[in-house]
Amino acid sequence: MACRITPGNTDDRTPLPDMTADLVGKLFGDKRYLSKRLFNELFARGLQLVTGIRGNMKNKLMPLWDKLLLRKRSMIGSLNNQLKNVFQIEHTRHRSPVNGFINILAALVAFVHYDHKPQININSAEIMLLDN
Q: 65 with 71: CB under 8 angstroms?
A: no
Taking only the tens place, the pLDDT of each residue in 39-80 is 888 899 898 888 877 666 676 777 777 777 777 777 777 777
- Provide the mean pLDDT of the chain: 78
The Cα 50–Cα 62 span in angstroms is 9
Pairwise pLDDT comparison (92 vs 102), residue with the higher score: 102
pLDDT over threshold 60, residue 132 = no
Burial 74-101 (b: 16+ CB within 10 A, else e): eeeeeeeebbeeebebeeeeeeeeeebe
In one-letter notation, the amino acid at residue 91 is: H
- Mean pLDDT over 95-109 rounds to 83
- Please report, rounded to a whole number, the percentage of residues in the chain having pLDDT higher than 90: 1
Surface-to-core class of residue 41, CB atoms within 10 Å of its CB (0-12 exposed, 13-18 middle, 19+ buried): middle
**What does the pLDDT average to over 107-120?**
79
pTM higher than 0.85, yes or no? no
